[in-house]
Structure 1
Amino acid sequence: MKRIKLLILSSFLLLISCDKDFLEVKPLDQYSDAAVWSDASLVNAFVNDIYLGQQYGFQLEMLASLSDISMTKRAEVNPILNSEINASYVSVLDPNHWLTSFRNITWNSLYLNIRSCNVFFERVEESGLQGEEIERLTGEVHYLRANFYYWLMSFYGGVPIVDQAYQIEDDFNIARSTFEETINFIVADLDAAAAALPLSGDKARATRGAALALKSRVLLYAASDLFNSNASWTDGYANPELVGYTGGSQTQRWQAAQDAAKAVIDLGIYNLYGGTSPASPQEARENYTNLFLNNGNEEDILISFYDDINDSDWQAPNPGRFYGPNGYHNWGNHTPTQQLVDSYEMIDGTEFSWSGPEAENPYENRDPRFYASILYDGANWRQRPDDVSAADPEGIVQTGFFENADGTFTPGLDTRQSSIEDWNGTYTGYYLRKFIDPSIDHQYETQRLPWRQIRYAEVILNYVEASLELGQEAEAKTYLNMIRNRAGMPDVPADESGEDLMDRYRNERKVELAYEQHRYFDIRRWMIAPQVIEDVEGIRIEHQFGSDDVEYQIMEVQNRNWQNKSYLLPILLDEMNRNDLLIQNPGY
């Protein structure tokens, strides 16, 4: 008899909606087909297992460092950053790479999870199981399948649409659907999910709001220039229908994206955490900091929890240890670039400039989100570990260098020349502050806070972008100012419009959603990657001997190279060899 192995324990620990009574009554990990599909509790466990296929943040490697806002120290990503990947080698995006950070979003992993969704649909229909719980689970699986196809679409464009659970004897040769067909399939799944799901509920499970929010993201991508350029970037690609629309109205697509985002707003059940009227910049900073340091709030639409089930795996999510300063015995990965740091406006809403008077004290009077997101030289952090506290009893980040009387320099505790694990020091002169709980000693403890899959701020920004593209600037400003005001920033200038307003929006999206798995795709769909994927800049800071003077030197710390083929990923040669009908993406 066929048997289905269910990772019930891991599923239920990962999701807060666990059924502890069920675990106590049936502590087994294998059930026959008949047992699974005749018991609603086991069906629930099967769906929980599919949730494990979602992509989580807080990994050893992050998508942010494959964009312009962040830098990872690992050389394994360099082929991606230099457009050197091909159908035989995609570096850390390979399903068999020793780094597991992106394994859930590789081609084969996504299709394995899609198959699990299709198994669910077929078996539930055959079983005759009915009721409110089964309807909810059906909606959740529609959402999950759409989510897996969203990742495929974002990386590859049009992909094979598989809506049945193929058996070993079946013909696996399936042609890629067009980009338009792929979008339509995802949207249909999300519409089905929204119709079946409750309005609200457990934030670790898909709800109607989650389905509508993901729909707004998918339609925003679909309306963007990359997929509406008639493949102009492909240098004569023979199958442009696979990588974008070849007809229809882009304006209508922007209207669909705006409508989808407004549908979430009109639900009236989500709010920006902390409100839009902070009493001071300090309160705004605390609001943005604390947004990510709780187990769910009114801004969260869908979150994913971690637990200690994978503590034996050194690659298991551990943001404080992975990203914190080396002077705290952390690993210092995914350091913010100077390009990101310079994107944070001054508190009065003007741009920061190294040629302006603000350059004398570049870390003063900045957007409160800067202080909640970036650790910089001189930033207050947390108490140092016992073996370091004598050198810095106050817990001040030291990424600068201190001049001695003889003209030599003593490196700060958090530099790559530090006496403390210098190999983990920052190249850029900064560390990531966002997401990290300062109350935890990350050298020994693992942070247990959820990853935000979708939050309301993204939906508002989606609405702003679609409104701008439709020429509705007043409407766009109203909602853009909500995001800015929550952060303690002033309204967009009343006379700002056109390209200046769009640039303001794009910068706002960059800083508001930094490190949340958006920037990699945003710079591609806007087709600005050739301009922003440039050599990474960092900073060297020198504190002058005998005075309070500080010298700031901007420097290049990593070379990068862009080629247009990198708008999409190649389909791996193994997949091409298994399916004669697959057509490769342009440039590969």
Structure 2
Amino acid sequence: MKKNIIFLFSFFLFVLVACDHDFMDTKPKTEITADDIWKESSLAEAYMFDIYFTFQDAGFTEELQASATDEALFTHGREFRETNAGAITDVNLGWFGKTQSGHQWARLYRNIRSCNDFIENIDNAEFDERYKVQLKGEAYFLRAYFFHRLTRAFGGIPLQLRVTQLTDDPESFLIPRSSYTDCIDHILSDLDEAADLLKDRTFANTQKGRATLAAVKALRVRVLTDAASDLHDEATATAKVPIFNSYPNKELLFYTKGSRAERWNAVKTAAKDLMDNPLGHAVPDFGGPGLSVEEKADAIWSFFLKDSPDHIFSRYFIDTKDESGTKMPLFNGPSGYHAWGGNTPIQDFVDAFAMEDGSKFDWNNPEHKAAPYKNREPRFYATVMYDGMQWIQRPSDYAVADPTGTIQTGYYQLDPASNDLYPGMDTRTGGGENWNATYTGYYLKKFINPAAGDHRNKINAVFPFIRLSEVYMNYIEACIELGELDEAKEYLNQMRESVGMPDVTTSDQTELRRIYQNERRLNFYFEEHRYWDVRRWMIAPSAPGLNSLTGIRVTAMLKSGVGKQERYAHDESRWNYTYDVVPVTQEGRKWENKCYFLPIHRDEINRNKNLIQNPGYGE
């Protein structure tokens, strides 16, 4: 049976200080030196686990990256306010300066140093060759992964490729930023090394959470997709962003190898390689055809609560460990269940879900406006909690007010003689933990499965860093950009069919691109894709949810002839419901073009005189 890497521990090295006394030259039995690591495979593996621990709580922290983009609002504010207002600077990186973001410069470089340590020393290790090969392959994969995280955030970065020592020339620490092209080429080179060393590592024979050949190939597709995108094409990006055009160090931002067609062909080739031989992985069918909308929605929701062959590289959590990944229901569940309602869907995202027949939802359509939560596509019901949605039984202290277990984010008339409105249990003024309640009128359903029916209990969970579905989507994107629309539609329609959506028929490249980008938005919600996608596509200035913030106001008035009600329970036979899109003022969202890249913190610039700042930051 495969073992899961559920919990990783910090591995500390203790180095003896030499002295003249013999007893001081004796190593205590509880002490481990750096040299010991390479003598025992168990110690080397523990060191590798420490590198994996950089993923820590993965994407399941209390503060989710979704709230740094047009997917969600973080109810409790914090550094998201600066990030979403475009107010980040070289001394305040907003949310991305925090540990929970997973993109801290110093933290990633510490782990790159550990990867370099492995690469430099593992060949001379004294244990079995098969362990050495796997560990070295993982080190190359992880170094590529960390370098890629840095390039996504900063563009070209210093390529630290060896372990520096305090005895080194001080100038050797002052590594300048390499060009974006050189960084991508080096990442691809590391992945080549990893692919060779991990060629026998598959989903079936590798501990969960560790790198496999499929993970290496999938990361290659992601890296190539980034490099081929608009943000890293000089002609496209400089035409759209004036500060890029005037930036004197364009080599730090743009990919210069090959034509755009050649770049997209590289994406297509790399993706097809894994699609044709998925190495034990498979894209989901969510129950296959013939299911009702409700059945399909339940299959989609259930899929994200457990492991599957679609997961290529993931982080696993078990409820016996006190990690953030085990607390998604508590962090994000409705306030009327003693949960914190932390990262809540915004209206712009909710509106992105289509109708059941595939048509666009439209507030200008009277039927849509009168019943916005009816006849929507299955992914909507699998992803979003909305007013009137049947959920689980409330805790006993809250069940007195609402024994039905139905989400209450609206305001309801109980007495026909009064226009006073009763605030729902899950509102900011309701009977639940209202200080934790949603501002947008919605809660997250994806990834939420309360253990034993209580959001306060810890859960088993899996966060997918890379899925095979992403590889398919990148292939589709490459086909669209190459003008191979029939092939793009063939695969896109396969993906849409799996979630119960009708085929796309358009032959217009621009429209197909728009449909694809929306599909990607809905398929990877809360999986840390959207932040990077809106940047590499350069659609941020025109994305409503990045430039404004709205939610929903649900009002229910008693129908004529209906008498006074003792308590509220969602019932369209007794209440008339109205739905109004309202501004949410907790954040002043505004896109600034400098935010296509993060700034390098001023402390790093001061430490390394050779670092060049990104455009729009500093002097």
In the alignment, the residues of structure 2 paired with residue 264 and residue 30 of structure 1 have an alpha-carbon distance, to the nearest angstrom, of 44
In the alignment, the residues of structure 1 paired with residue 188 and residue 118 of structure 2 have an alpha-carbon distance, to the nearest angstrom, of 19
Shift of 1:320: 0.5
Shift of 1:274: 3.7
CA RMSD of aligned residues (A): 2.0
The equivalent of 2:123 in structure 1 is: 125
Taking structure 1 as reference, are residues 247 and 144 closer, same or farther at Cα in structure 2, changes over 3 Å only? closer
Is residue 79 from structure 1 mapped to residue 66 from structure 2 by the alignment? no
Which of 414-423 and 571-580 deviates more?
Answer: 414-423
SS of match in other structure, 1:544: strand
> Among residues 387, 393, 396, which one is paired with 2:406 in the alignment?
396
In the alignment, the residues of structure 2 paired with residue 545 and residue 29 of structure 1 have an alpha-carbon distance, to the nearest angstrom, of 73
Conserved in 2, the CA contact under 8 Å of 1:203 and 1:300? Answer: no
Q: Which amino acid aligns with 1:71?
A: L
The equivalent of 1:579 in structure 2 is: 608
Is residue 321 from structure 1 mapped to residue 330 from structure 2 by the alignment? yes
The equivalent of 1:537 in structure 2 is: 550
In the alignment, the residues of structure 1 paired with residue 454 and residue 403 of structure 2 have an alpha-carbon distance, to the nearest angstrom, of 18
The equivalent of 2:232 in structure 1 is: 227
The equivalent of 2:196 in structure 1 is: 195
SS of match in other structure, 1:452: strand
Which of 559-568 and 28-37 deviates more?
Answer: 28-37
Shift of 1:351: 0.6
Conserved in 2, the CA contact under 8 Å of 1:15 and 1:204? Answer: no
Which of 514-523 and 76-85 deviates more?
Answer: 76-85
Shift of 1:425: 0.9
Q: Which amino acid aligns with 1:414?
A: D
The equivalent of 2:71 in structure 1 is: 69
SS of match in other structure, 2:475: helix
Q: Deviations over 1:421-462 (max 9, x none)?
A: 211111110000000114444443111211111111111111
Q: Which amino acid aligns with 1:468?
A: I
SS of match in other structure, 1:509: helix
Q: Which amino acid aligns with 2:340?
A: W
In the alignment, the residues of structure 1 paired with residue 394 and residue 286 of structure 2 have an alpha-carbon distance, to the nearest angstrom, of 33
Conserved in 2, the CA contact under 8 Å of 1:273 and 1:287? Answer: no
Moved over 6 A (4+): none
Pairs within 5 Å for 1:377-526? 377-404=387-414, 405=416, 406-493=418-505, 495-526=506-537
The equivalent of 1:570 in structure 2 is: 599
Shift of 1:502: 0.7
Unpaired runs of 5+ in structure 2? 10-28, 560-573
Is residue 215 from structure 1 mapped to residue 220 from structure 2 by the alignment? yes
> Among residues 14, 38, 44, which one is paired with 2:7 in the alignment?
14
The equivalent of 2:298 in structure 1 is: 286
Conserved in 2, the CA contact under 8 Å of 1:276 and 1:482? Answer: no
Q: Deviations over 1:360-401 (max 9, x none)?
A: 211111111111100000111111011011211121000011
Which of 222-231 and 265-274 deviates more?
Answer: 265-274
SS of match in other structure, 1:539: strand
Which of 396-405 and 245-254 deviates more?
Answer: 245-254
In the alignment, the residues of structure 2 paired with residue 116 and residue 31 of structure 1 have an alpha-carbon distance, to the nearest angstrom, of 16
In the alignment, the residues of structure 2 paired with residue 333 and residue 162 of structure 1 have an alpha-carbon distance, to the nearest angstrom, of 37
Q: Which amino acid aligns with 1:480?
A: L
- Give the TM-score normalised by structure 2: 0.87
The equivalent of 1:551 in structure 2 is: 578
Return the index of the structure with the highest Cα Rg: 2
In the alignment, the residues of structure 1 paired with residue 481 and residue 80 of structure 2 have an alpha-carbon distance, to the nearest angstrom, of 34
Shift of 1:309: 7.3
Q: Deviations over 1:237-293 (max 9, x none)?
A: 010000112463111111111111112111143222245733212332122111111
Shift of 1:178: 0.3
SS of match in other structure, 2:143: helix
In the alignment, the residues of structure 1 paired with residue 611 and residue 285 of structure 2 have an alpha-carbon distance, to the nearest angstrom, of 49
In the alignment, the residues of structure 1 paired with residue 110 and residue 296 of structure 2 have an alpha-carbon distance, to the nearest angstrom, of 43
SS of match in other structure, 1:75: coil
Conserved in 1, the CA contact under 8 Å of 2:215 and 2:466? Answer: yes
Conserved in 2, the CA contact under 8 Å of 1:329 and 1:421? Answer: yes
Q: Which amino acid aligns with 1:552?
A: Y
Q: Deviations over 1:445-497 (max 9, x none)?
A: 1112111111111111111101110111111111111221111111112x443
SS of match in other structure, 2:464: strand
Q: Which amino acid aligns with 1:306?
A: F
Unpaired runs of 5+ in structure 1? 1-10, 17-27
SS of match in other structure, 1:552: strand
Conserved in 2, the CA contact under 8 Å of 1:372 and 1:434? Answer: yes
In the alignment, the residues of structure 2 paired with residue 448 and residue 88 of structure 1 have an alpha-carbon distance, to the nearest angstrom, of 38
Conserved in 1, the CA contact under 8 Å of 2:315 and 2:463? Answer: yes
In the alignment, the residues of structure 2 paired with residue 75 and residue 133 of structure 1 have an alpha-carbon distance, to the nearest angstrom, of 44
> Among residues 343, 347, 355, which one is paired with 1:334 in the alignment?
343
Q: Deviations over 1:318-373 (max 9, x none)?
A: 11101101000100011001101100011111111111122221111111111110
In the alignment, the residues of structure 2 paired with residue 13 and residue 550 of structure 1 have an alpha-carbon distance, to the nearest angstrom, of 46
In the alignment, the residues of structure 2 paired with residue 349 and residue 263 of structure 1 have an alpha-carbon distance, to the nearest angstrom, of 31
Conserved in 2, the CA contact under 8 Å of 1:203 and 1:301? Answer: no
In the alignment, the residues of structure 2 paired with residue 163 and residue 255 of structure 1 have an alpha-carbon distance, to the nearest angstrom, of 29
Conserved in 2, the CA contact under 8 Å of 1:59 and 1:317? Answer: no
SS of match in other structure, 1:318: helix
Taking structure 1 as reference, are residues 309 and 243 closer, same or farther at Cα in structure 2, changes over 3 Å only? farther
Conserved in 1, the CA contact under 8 Å of 2:8 and 2:50? Answer: no
Conserved in 1, the CA contact under 8 Å of 2:318 and 2:460? Answer: yes
Shift of 1:420: 1.9
Conserved in 2, the CA contact under 8 Å of 1:14 and 1:304? Answer: no
Conserved in 1, the CA contact under 8 Å of 2:385 and 2:442? Answer: yes
Pairs within 5 Å for 1:35-434? 35-54=36-55, 56-73=58-75, 74-94=77-97, 97=98, 100-102=99-101, 104-127=102-125, 129-170=127-168, 171-197=172-198, 198-200=201-203, 201-230=206-235, 231-232=237-238, 233=241, 234-246=244-256, 248-268=258-278, 269-274=280-285, 277-280=288-291, 281-294=293-306, 296-307=307-318, 311=322, 318-356=327-365, 357-404=367-414, 405=416, 406-434=418-446
Q: Deviations over 1:180-229 (max 9, x none)?
A: 01111111111211221123333311111011111111111110000003
**Count of aligned residue pairs for this structure pair:** 558
- Give the TM-score normalised by structure 1: 0.91
In the alignment, the residues of structure 2 paired with residue 180 and residue 156 of structure 1 have an alpha-carbon distance, to the nearest angstrom, of 13
The equivalent of 2:568 in structure 1 is: none
Q: Which amino acid aligns with 2:331?
A: F
In the alignment, the residues of structure 2 paired with residue 478 and residue 392 of structure 1 have an alpha-carbon distance, to the nearest angstrom, of 47
In the alignment, the residues of structure 2 paired with residue 464 and residue 247 of structure 1 have an alpha-carbon distance, to the nearest angstrom, of 22
Shift of 1:15: 6.3
Shift of 1:317: 5.2
